[in-house]
Structure 1
Amino acid sequence: MADLSAVEICAGAGGQSLGLELAGFDHAVAVELDENAVNTLRENRDWKVVQGDVADEDRWEPKKYHGVDLLAGGVPCPPFSIAGKQLGATDERDLFAWAVELAGKMQPRALLLENVRGLSMPRFSAYRQHVKDRLRDFGYWSDWKLLHANDYGVPQLRPRFVLVAMRHEDAQWFEWPEEMPTEATVGSALHEMMKSKGWRGADAWATEKATDIAPTIVGGSKKHGGADLGPTRAKTAWRNLGVDPMGVADAPPTVKDPIDFTPKLTTEMVARIQGWGKEPEYEWRFTGRKTTRYRQIGNAFPPPVARAVGTSIANALSRKGQPKELAEVETEVMHDRLYLALKSAPTALTEKELVKLSGEKMDSLTFERRMAMLARDFVIDEDDQLGGRAYRLVGFKGFIGQEGHERHARFAEMRSRIS
């Protein structure tokens, strides 16, 4: 029986859920917007599962779970995705900063949030700094790390940017999970499934073509069409692995298919590439039609990766191992010095003053570009003075739970297309 409790927001179809369960966490509640994913969660576990907008406290009451061991979630990725517009705080789907504020209200012992690699890029350095600063205000140590699924037993690249936060007394026991690159390939992972209907080319396909790990599986959203295996670069990688990326098959190839046939993947095969089903403990059933199942699988946090991170968190909360100085625990984080200069300034400062305060060397063009980037996520007042234009940081544009925030109207308008 699990000794630790978890609240999971934006739970999806259960990739993180299963991994956390295997790490020793029992779900007090899981909250998810998409009806199909909710059905899948309920099909597999008898947890309390709430369907609806996670930011709507009429749907669930966060205060009931005050002091839970872990608050976890895979909040929406499009606001930070390299494949998207990277709108960040101004995207109606952005719930990352809101989830941090939720942690401040719920006061869990630990927080786990995961997202796409795009959040780790310079475009969002000030956003990340804002998150760390808020967590510090709430009494948490925090750290970010880019994890690759293939380092945790999953035959897929799939980089995910992960945030872990803990109370200082627990954080000194935390260690990021040890990387153990997988020896599995697409071929070795799917060989038995590919030959299950008698396809005579399965052996050669597995040993001569599908001899590397998979590119990142992309689940997509309701804004796009049917299931396929991703953008152009990913499709090229799949073709090099001997896989037809233009859609998902209903069943494995059969004895009637030619030996040199280029097969498509089934949703069951996609799930195996995501880390489900290899061993009995990773078995999971997906509900809905094929495209719906594919999206649930493709948008998930691979269960073995969630298990690895969850185990590290559980070990820290249980005080296993040896404590360290917090400086030893934290990985190197690049701070946005211009943002910090703006934030620390008691009054509006000119370009020259801000550059000096930041300690960075930059010309006027670079300064203007950096300020324009900051202005995408933060409200910055500009005032023409005798000494030149002066700048003052006013606030954060993102949704953090405000009743009057424009996120509510945009969310209501886009509700049918958000997944």
Structure 2
Amino acid sequence: MSGAAEDNPLEVVEICAGAGGQSLGLERAGFRHRLAVELDEHAARTLRHNLVKVLGYKEKEAEDTVCIGDVADPKVWNPDEHKGVDLLAGGVPCPPFSIAGKQLGASDERDLFAWAVELCGRMRPKALLLENVKGLSGNRFTAYRKHVLDRLQEYDYIAEWRLLQADQFGVSQLRPRFVLIALQEEYAKHFHWPEPHAEPPPSVGVLLRDLMAEGDWSADRLKTWVDQADSIAPTIVGGSKKHGGADLGPTRAKAAWEAMGIDGKGVADVPPGPKNPRVEGVEHPMLTTKMVARIQGWYGKEFADWEFLGKKTAQYRQIGNAFPPPVAKALGTAIKLALLKEGAERPLVEASEATLDPVYKLLHGRKRAMTVEQMVVKLASSGRPLEQPEVERRLAHLGHDFELIQKPRSNGEVAFLLGGFKAFLGQEDHERHELFAQNRAKIS
């Protein structure tokens, strides 16, 4: 049994498990992995290694627990073998919703969020935990989120969204994540979101002082750097296989790192110092992967022993793409208390508090097509006025995630009907299969 396991631990099936950030947090919360599925071989090997080294699994048990391959490929695993598991969890790919990307949503071959919701309906776990980037919480995806909530309600789950920040749970990094938790009704009334820590996390300087001291710095130079790095880190990004080596993020992030006395254009092999190899023209030291892992939450007696396998860039991507273990533990603990019915009962509010796209609400379920002008008039009469350009913009957004049927009229105007949801839900003939095969080497 694992070190975190109890006599009768709750069980979790984890999809898109990565190198184990969420896995470790859930194990520390008291869950035992029945299965973990991961596409990237480096990350899967890291997870298997640490199931044995850190969590006490037997070698064969870890081999059987971590499954490598496309999570949506029926040849990789059979969800029907895990019906009724306590928890289905995962961090499905972020690029479909990332502000740094094109935000294609359901039109992106990497989008597995809606598929994971259908998987929940198929497997019928007691609880569902999905996390993604902050972009999914934006206005662009209000209709997408509403569709997700509608489907979960059809499957008799009570679902809630919440935007959480890693620094609220002891991680020295902002890292906002949009989290969806859904539970069967008998457990949902016992669920409470975890409370943020009372104390803020340590600054980057304080957090990394001992690791920086391993380099050949003078005591005065080290103190100067610790004093300069007096804030938490910007969001660590793992990047993808489409790009080159490891770096600490886009231009704005690099500027924040520079303000703390850190060069964000790369990751170092060894702790910095005047006598260590330096990059020509670089004024500030670079972080090592060990330092980045600590900033990501692999820190303290519960989380620090995790080892990352592979070369430096592979390690950095595993770390940067992970869900911080302390946040995963906080969420896992809250879910566990609900499943054990130990949380105080609360009244259930099934309606989402998220703002609903008024154009989606207007067109959803409607049988007769509407022109943009008709939509403007109808929205004004319902107390949610939108100008024509805004209606057209929202229609363009809806067209990424839904079939938008256009019906020309004799006067030259075009009327619109809202068709089916475009997202991959497991369909055998969905274009996702071909696009995934074409881009398999670039997807991480």
By how many angstroms is 1:277 displaced? Answer: 3.0
**The one of 87, 107, 119 aligned to 2:104:** 87
**The one of 410, 413, 418 aligned to 2:435:** 410
By how many angstroms is 1:262 displaced? Answer: 2.3
Partners of 1:214 and 1:238 within 8 A in 2: yes
Show the 5 A alignment for 1:18-29.
18-29=24-35
Change in 2 beyond 3 A, CA 1:253/1:224: same
Show the 5 A alignment for 1:72-221.
72-180=89-197, 182-200=200-218, 201-206=221-226, 208-221=227-240
Separation in 2, partners of 1:31, 1:88: 22
Give the structure 2 partner of residue 67 of structure 1: 84
Separation in 2, partners of 1:415, 1:189: 37
- SS in structure 1 opposite 2:408? strand
Q: Give the share of equivalent positions with the same residue, in percent.
A: 56
Separation in 1, partners of 2:255, 2:137: 25
By how many angstroms is 1:51 displaced? Answer: 0.2
Partners of 2:28 and 2:302 within 8 A in 1: no
Give the structure 1 partner of residue 388 of structure 2: 364
Partners of 1:149 and 1:155 within 8 A in 2: yes
- Amino acid paired to 2:113: F
* 2:42 is the counterpart of 1:36: yes
By how many angstroms is 1:392 displaced? Answer: 1.4
**The one of 369, 380, 391 aligned to 2:416:** 391
**The one of 326, 329, 333 aligned to 1:307:** 329
Worse-superposed segment, 373-382 or 228-237: 373-382
Change in 2 beyond 3 A, CA 1:225/1:257: closer
Give the structure 1 partner of residue 54 of structure 2: none
Separation in 2, partners of 1:367, 1:281: 48
- Amino acid paired to 1:17: S
Separation in 1, partners of 2:423, 2:343: 38
By how many angstroms is 1:41 displaced? Answer: 0.6
Give the structure 2 partner of residue 6 of structure 1: 12
Partners of 1:277 and 1:284 within 8 A in 2: no
Partners of 2:294 and 2:304 within 8 A in 1: no
Partners of 1:248 and 1:266 within 8 A in 2: yes
Separation in 2, partners of 1:184, 1:167: 37
By how many angstroms is 1:244 displaced? Answer: 1.1
**Deviations, residues 215-266 of structure 1 (Å, cap 9, x unaligned):** 00011000000001110000000000111112111011247369x9721100
**Deviations, residues 278-319 of structure 1 (Å, cap 9, x unaligned):** 225442010000000000000000000111111111111111
Separation in 1, partners of 2:97, 2:223: 40
Separation in 2, partners of 1:97, 1:403: 15
Partners of 2:192 and 2:343 within 8 A in 1: no
Partners of 2:159 and 2:182 within 8 A in 1: yes
Partners of 2:203 and 2:232 within 8 A in 1: yes
Give the structure 1 partner of residue 253 of structure 2: 234
Separation in 2, partners of 1:230, 1:161: 19
Partners of 1:338 and 1:355 within 8 A in 2: no
Partners of 2:68 and 2:76 within 8 A in 1: yes
By how many angstroms is 1:350 displaced? Answer: 3.7
Q: Which runs of 5+ in 1 are unaligned?
A: none
**Deviations, residues 32-79 of structure 1 (Å, cap 9, x unaligned):** 000000110111114300000000011100000001010000000011
- SS in structure 1 opposite 2:419? strand
Separation in 2, partners of 1:137, 1:230: 40
By how many angstroms is 1:383 displaced? Answer: 1.2
Over aligned residues, Cα RMSD in angstroms?
A: 1.9
Give the structure 2 partner of residue 340 of structure 1: 361
TM-score when normalising by structure 1: 0.95
- SS in structure 1 opposite 2:400? coil
By how many angstroms is 1:346 displaced? Answer: 3.3
Separation in 2, partners of 1:101, 1:87: 20
Separation in 2, partners of 1:399, 1:298: 26
- SS in structure 1 opposite 2:364? helix
Separation in 1, partners of 2:424, 2:234: 32
Separation in 1, partners of 2:98, 2:368: 34
Separation in 1, partners of 2:336, 2:74: 28
Partners of 1:145 and 1:331 within 8 A in 2: no
- SS in structure 2 opposite 1:366? helix
Partners of 1:139 and 1:167 within 8 A in 2: yes
**Deviations, residues 140-199 of structure 1 (Å, cap 9, x unaligned):** 111111110000000001000100011112111111111125231101110001102342
Separation in 2, partners of 1:5, 1:167: 16
Separation in 1, partners of 2:116, 2:108: 15
